């Protein structure tokens, strides 16, 4: 059982901190939040300034919560949601492989599936969920993460994604 807790801690910290840093980069990297909003507008998001803020906040917040193992299924839902939106709006049409020009969807899917797997098993012994006795029994962690993550992503895309038509 010790090795499972080590593995869960490693997955949570690496994937959580990496995603949080990705969100941080949306705010402070390159051209900052204005650049992110401009890019979001270019791919067809209806409210790019708000969606850039929401995406960055979700990536930072969900990533840090996931790394800490705090309300893990909700953190995983945020991770699944932002990755699914990224796949649908940007990466799907490129193909599977990340190394393809324009970046395929394999990496985003990997993040989402790691989040779902950890939500399914629980955050492990070395987590704030464990320290605070927060527990999702049976399949509830997976159901919360998948339901809210997929549902939130599909709602976001349905309401706000309007890609430009190619001629």
**pLDDT attached to residue 165:** 72
Apex 117 CA angle, 64 and 50, nearest 5 = 45
Task: Convert the pLDDT of each residue in 2-22 to its tens digit.
Answer: 899 999 999 999 999 999 999
**pLDDT attached to residue 166:** 61
**pLDDT attached to residue 104:** 84
Task: Convert the pLDDT of each residue in 118-130 to its tens digit.
Answer: 999 999 999 999 9
- The whole-angstrom separation of Cα 162 and Cα 62 is 26
**pLDDT attached to residue 99:** 75
Task: Break the chain into its structural domains and give their ranges.
Answer: 2-160
Q: Which residues of the chain have pLDDT under 70?
A: 166-167
The pTM score is 0.93
Contact between 59 and 23 under an 8 Å Cβ cutoff? The reply is: yes
**pLDDT attached to residue 167:** 43
What tokens were used for 106? 């394999």
What 135-143 contacts at long range (C-beta under 8 Å, 24+ apart), as own/partner pairs, is 136/72, 136/73, 140/73, 141/72, 141/73, 141/76, 142/73, 142/116
């Amino acid at each position: 059982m010790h090795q499972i807790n080590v593995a869960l801690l490693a997955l949570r910290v690496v994937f959580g901190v990496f995603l949080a840093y990705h969100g941080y980069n949306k705010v402070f990297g390159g051209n900052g939040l204005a650049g992110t909003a401009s890019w979001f507008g270019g791919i067809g998001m209806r409210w790019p300034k708000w969606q850039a803020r929401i995406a960055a906040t979700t990536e930072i917040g969900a990533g840090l919560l996931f790394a800490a193992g705090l309300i893990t299924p909700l953190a995983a839902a945020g991770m699944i949601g932002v990755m699914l939106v990224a796949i649908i709006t940007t990466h799907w049409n490129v193909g599977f492989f990340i190394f393809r020009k324009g970046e395929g969807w394999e990496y985003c899917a990997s993040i989402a599936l790691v989040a779902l797997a950890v939500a399914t098993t629980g955050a492990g012994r070395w987590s704030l969920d464990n320290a605070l006795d927060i527990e999702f029994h049976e399949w509830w962690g997976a159901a919360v993460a998948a339901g809210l993550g997929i549902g939130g992503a599909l709602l976001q895309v349905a309401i706000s994604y309007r890609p430009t038509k190619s001629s």
